[in-house]
Structure 1
Amino acid sequence: MLFNSFEFICVFLPLTLAGFFLLGWRQLPRLAVAWLILASLFYYAWWSLWQIGVLAASVFGNYFLARRVGLGEHRKAWLVFGIVANVSALLFFKYANPAYGHVDRWLDLGWNWHHVIMPLGLSFYTFQQVAYLVDAYRTRESERSFLNYCLFVTFFPQLIIGPIVHHREMLPQFADDCVFRPSLANFNAGLPIFFLGLFKKVAIADPIGRYIDPAFAASAAGDSLTLFEAWAAALGYTFQLYFDFSGYADMSIGIARLFGIHLPHNFDSPYQSRSMAELWRRWHMTLMRFMRDYIYIPLGGSRRGPARQQVNLLITMILCGLWHGDGAGWTFFVFGLLHGIVLVGNNLWSRWREVNGIALGRWWDDGVARVLTFLTWCFGLVLFRASTVGSATDIWKGMFGFNGAALPDQVLAFLPFLHGWVEPLRQMPNLAKGTVLGLTEFATLMLLSAVLAFFCRNLHQLSSRQRVLLLMPTFAFAIQGALFAGVPAQFLYFQF
């Protein structure tokens, strides 16, 4: 049941809100919390009933461990056991299939291995609970109410793709009686955020995806993409992922706000960044907060000298890449490694400029730096989308022109100066349906995406009044796309 589906918008969400506030109005807050937990479990079970068992085991196990870590004896041993257990479960579901496959091929064992299915949202709620265990150890405290803890983990707006929330951000809100009463202010704030996020998903991200998917499929099948196809595929995916993920983040925050719950900001116009370090801080902000607080800083952060800082940064980014991966190939490991190298280079460059007192001026910060940052991210995301490192390499070759350049002959008729070095084609089947109309529609979407991503303020920079003014037009476009565009497309981050 997707946020952009008919059954969610018109059935599940209204019924869940009605039951929650009805129980709150009858001054039954514990029943209201229980209702919201049951609704969240129903939402999760909609995908696959067996995955409820994994989620339930994780919730019960970590609640028990947190009590021992926060209040019991041998606290450090319980903490280590809890972290190992959570990470082991995550590694099993992510990497059991390729690991057993490699062992079977190397040793020719002939195992009849049944494919392990990755439970939806496992990466997110595992990290959330690992952070809770560590905080319980540091503060010598743990949540006494199992209902509140269960809602903290299973709250459906953030269960599948985050944000990864800290207990101190969520649990105090459940103790506030105002949460259980409907608020016009919360609806005025939540509905515009939800529908603007829905607009990003159904009006921008999904149409771009339908245009570029054939190009990546052709590359995975062994076809070489030419210059324009490769660049269109890479840029298209860069904007598709941006609006798909930021759309989900907005919808998640908007839905939670309808219940009176404030989720943390998770996406802050990253394509307006001036460096890769800044971009990562503004992209999936709660994940990067987790990586900083629970991996980078415990490794030593910047406390042990510049050389050790760069090693810690490289390790953190490799682990970030592996967290996104599914174990099927090396693409996410290489993605994390390359971004680690880029961030190390970014740190060294910033340090060198600071030591030598070099100020390049606004032309660099507002122009060149932004362009270089975006292009670096665009090149890196090819690994994020490609099925193999070989496929990504071939797309990169196409982006540098090693696979030639081709355009439909109808397009060349309008651009005669390109005839000398561009091969004419009757169609371009790997991109935008191979038609001039398709290419025109794709170019329009890309232009709209660039304007919104590079120059416009995000939802959290807009005032409440401005968001309300945007509500009606985005509501119309979003509902039309969600309800009449056929089967809703899944969010890209569902695979992680």
Structure 2
Amino acid sequence: MFSKIVYYSPYERPFYFILLGVALIPLIIQLLRGNRMMWYQNILTLTFLWLSFSGPNARQGIALILYVLWQTVLVYAYFKYRQQRNKSSVFYVAVALAILPLFILKLFPFLANQTMLLEHNPQLRFIPMTIGFLGISYLTFKAVQMIMEIRDGVIKEYSVGRYIQFLLFFPTISSGPIDRYRRFEKDLLHPPSKETYVEMLSSGLNMIFLGFLYKFILGNLLGTQLLPRVQDFALQRENLFLGLLGTMYVYTFYLFFDFAGYSLFAVGVSKLMGYDTPINFNKPFLSHNIKEFWNRWHMSLSFWFRDYVYMRLMFTLMKKKVFKSRVVASNVGYFVLFLVMGFWHGLTWYYIVYGLYHATLICLTDAWIRFKRKHKKQLPSNMWTKGLSIVLTFHAVAFSFLIFSGFLDTLLKTIF
């Protein structure tokens, strides 16, 4: 059977923060003077990429280098082509080639396990190791974004150097947030004023310390101490309901504090470097409905899928008049969107069910919003109804995370 490759974020190691703090001092001093030392930032980037992708991770480092070369040549070639012609077929080929390494990485383990391919060809187990590295998904999102915006004509100039810096921006390389090229390029070319940077510096430090609380204290307590206990409790048949309920709550808060903590580190370090990287979380558990939740949870990923998958699919469906009803087209778009998101997480039943579940919730939410508009005067709207909507949304989301966790798969295999 194919064993899953496990990647570890550099932010998992406390010593990483000590090195980072010392290394950032010269950059911070110059930014306080209104200057950006690009030569030093480049050295900093290479140094911390080397720390993350050397030693036991050296194979990942080689894969990263080959991947960046692949995407750089691909985007450059498409940019040059787009200056003269604009055939849709070439655009789709370029997008497919940008996705290809990630597609192979995601699909190969599934095919290998299903077909027992590795039993007869054990040497093939090195394929994912050759092309896989920490952060490949997020770099792929950046590359696809570039190709789409070049096609749209919103990116009119292409600098190989700036594009590579965009791909390899080390604070966000492993798990985002997913920045936009034009926003990043603006920060790259125009360092913040002294007054603006002082505010960024204060905000960045606050985010980093809050990240320590989220990831290393609350996340560690929930994930290391509480989660295994409630899961063991749930595996006892007589405690099944309470155990599942406890697992649902604990895993939901663990997932939030762990990922939000990492995102705070990434955005905080970005701010120390003078880059206003977008935040990833904005009090998601205070959402009134599932659509609002996705505007608050893992925001850079949500907005990426919204802008580059859902909106473009909707445009095509409406332009070609595939469906007469905009509501039907929208619902189809939601199911395609969340199925793609589910497949991106992995080719297992619980990721796919997770995607279908959220698509269903959003379609129902849209239907409820349309119903409320028609019966606005008849339906109450006060602090109690708003509070109830928050509670219901939270539990709908928490149940989806129970599915996402894969624990139900473990439970079913244990019981049956």
Note whether the superposition's TM-score is higher than 0.5: yes
Partner SS for 1:299: helix
- Which amino acid in the other structure matches residue 242 of structure 1? F
Structure 2 portions without partners, runs of 5+:
1-8, 319-324
2:382 matched to 1:362? yes
For 1:275, the equivalent position in structure 2 comes to 289
2:206 matched to 1:192? yes
2:95 matched to 1:83? yes
Question: How far apart are 1:44 and its partner, in Å?
Answer: 3.3
Question: Which has the larger Rg?
Answer: 1
- Following superposition of structure 1 onto structure 2, how do residues 408-423 of structure 1 map, counting pairs within 5 Å? none
For 2:5, the equivalent position in structure 1 comes to none
One of 39, 59, 84 as aligned partner of 1:50 = 59
**After alignment, is 384-393 or 363-372 more displaced?**
384-393
Partner SS for 1:120: coil
Deviation track 1:239-273 (CA, whole Å, cap 9, x = no partner) reads 11111111122221111111111101221101000
C-alpha spacing 1:33/1:2, structure 2 compared with 1 (3 Å)? closer
One of 49, 56, 72 as aligned partner of 1:41 = 49
C-alpha spacing 1:96/1:179, structure 2 compared with 1 (3 Å)? farther
- Which amino acid in the other structure matches residue 306 of structure 1? V
- Following superposition of structure 1 onto structure 2, how do residues 442-453 of structure 1 map, counting pairs within 5 Å? none
2:14 matched to 1:6? yes
Does the CA-based 8 Å contact 2:35-2:191 persist in structure 1?
no
Question: How far apart are 1:300 and its partner, in Å?
Answer: 1.2
For 2:328, the equivalent position in structure 1 comes to 307
Partners of 2:36 and 2:271 lie apart in 1 by: 20
Question: How far apart are 1:163 and its partner, in Å?
Answer: 0.7
For 2:306, the equivalent position in structure 1 comes to 292
CA RMSD of aligned residues (A): 3.1
2:252 matched to 1:241? no
Partners of 2:31 and 2:387 lie apart in 1 by: 54
C-alpha spacing 1:81/1:223, structure 2 compared with 1 (3 Å)? farther
Count of residue correspondences: 390
Question: How far apart are 1:20 and its partner, in Å?
Answer: 7.8
TM-score by length of 2: 0.84
2:383 matched to 1:383? no
C-alpha spacing 1:75/1:284, structure 2 compared with 1 (3 Å)? same
2:65 matched to 1:32? no
Question: How far apart are 1:121 and its partner, in Å?
Answer: 1.1
Does the CA-based 8 Å contact 1:277-1:346 persist in structure 2?
yes
2:350 matched to 1:331? yes
Which structure's residues are more often helix, by fraction?
2
- Following superposition of structure 1 onto structure 2, how do residues 30-429 of structure 1 map, counting pairs within 5 Å? 30-46=38-54, 48-72=57-81, 73-76=84-87, 77-104=89-116, 110-112=120-122, 113-114=124-125, 116-117=128-129, 118-139=132-153, 141=155, 143-178=157-192, 183-215=197-229, 218=232, 223-224=236-237, 225-300=239-314, 303=318, 305-325=326-346, 327=347, 329-357=348-376, 358-363=378-383, 365-387=385-407, 389=409, 391=411
Partners of 2:306 and 2:219 lie apart in 1 by: 29
Question: How far apart are 1:146 and its partner, in Å?
Answer: 2.6
Partners of 1:313 and 1:74 lie apart in 2 by: 32
Where relative contact order (Cα < 8 A, 6+ residues apart) is larger, the structure is 1
Partners of 2:406 and 2:268 lie apart in 1 by: 32
- Which amino acid in the other structure matches residue 361 of structure 1? S
Partners of 1:20 and 1:146 lie apart in 2 by: 26
Partners of 2:120 and 2:262 lie apart in 1 by: 42
C-alpha spacing 1:27/1:99, structure 2 compared with 1 (3 Å)? same
Does the CA-based 8 Å contact 2:31-2:274 persist in structure 1?
no
Partners of 2:226 and 2:107 lie apart in 1 by: 28
Does the CA-based 8 Å contact 2:27-2:36 persist in structure 1?
no
Question: How far apart are 1:19 and its partner, in Å?
Answer: 6.2
C-alpha spacing 1:314/1:183, structure 2 compared with 1 (3 Å)? closer
Partners of 2:329 and 2:357 lie apart in 1 by: 18
Does the CA-based 8 Å contact 1:24-1:180 persist in structure 2?
yes
C-alpha spacing 1:371/1:248, structure 2 compared with 1 (3 Å)? same
Does the CA-based 8 Å contact 2:207-2:267 persist in structure 1?
yes
Does the CA-based 8 Å contact 1:212-1:232 persist in structure 2?
no
Does the CA-based 8 Å contact 1:267-1:284 persist in structure 2?
yes
**After alignment, is 35-44 or 311-320 more displaced?**
35-44
Question: How far apart are 1:390 and its partner, in Å?
Answer: 6.1
Partner SS for 1:190: helix
For 1:15, the equivalent position in structure 2 comes to 23
Partners of 1:26 and 1:183 lie apart in 2 by: 8
Partners of 1:135 and 1:248 lie apart in 2 by: 28
Partners of 1:181 and 1:41 lie apart in 2 by: 30
Partners of 2:270 and 2:10 lie apart in 1 by: 15
Question: How far apart are 1:312 and its partner, in Å?
Answer: 0.7
For 1:471, the equivalent position in structure 2 comes to none
- Which amino acid in the other structure matches residue 309 of structure 1? S
Work out the percentage of aligned pairs sharing the same amino acid. Answer: 22
Partners of 1:28 and 1:289 lie apart in 2 by: 29
